[in-house]
Homo-oligomer: A and B are copies of this chain.
Amino acid sequence: MGSIDEALKANELYAQNFPFADSPKVPARKLAVLGCMDARMNIERILGLEPGDAHVLRNAGAIATEDVVRSLLVSNYLLGTNEVMIIGHTDCGALGLNDGELRERIERERGATAASPAQFLGFSNLEANLGRQLRTLRAHPWIPESISIRGFIYDVATGRLAEVKTNRPAITTE
């Protein structure tokens, strides 16, 4: 049996005793979380979140892409969230990902096209990358300054979050 069919069987069990019919559409904790897609990170479990508590956004590397900004604006303006966590993690697949090498491999296997994506957004330093994502969101003209945005590194070996502090100013001159 394939993994999708296996997941569908698990869903049948889940739906048989479903206690979340009244979970709110508007996140009860007014929280939005951006995390990596990594298989080891169950965001809700890591943070003790129940259905109805928080929006969860995830992509490769927990990068503040245009798609993430789009989703956060919907979350902030239409559904009232006012705190944002960005969660990177140790041993991330995007850490050391070489954009050029991956592009060359795909073009070799599939042909060179003008296909998106333009970049794969690999990075070489976990904390520095997280700092960039924090600054991207804090500097965005459409994300209100009243939204609290904080960044963390999740340790996949211990399950523990550690905060990464950055200068509050949106753009530093370092």
What is the interface of chain A, defined by CB distance below 8 A to chain B? 2-4, 6-15, 18, 20-21, 23-32, 37-42, 44-49, 51-60, 63, 65-71, 73-75, 77-79, 83, 85, 91, 93-94, 97, 102, 105-106, 109-111, 113, 115-121, 140-142, 144, 148, 150, 156-161
Contact = CB atoms under 8 A, between A and B. Distances in A.
Contact of A156 (B23, B41, B66, B148): B23
Closest 6 CB pairs of A and B: A10-B48, A18-B159, A67-B67, A70-B117, A60-B71, A7-B47
Nearest to A49: B7
A145 B171 CA distance: 43
14 contacts: A3-B83, A15-B158, A20-B156, A21-B157, A23-B156, A24-B39, A25-B39, A27-B39, A37-B55, A39-B51, A39-B55, A39-B56, A74-B120, A115-B142
Contacts of A78: 93, 97, 102
A2 B68 CA distance: 22
B116 A69 contact: yes
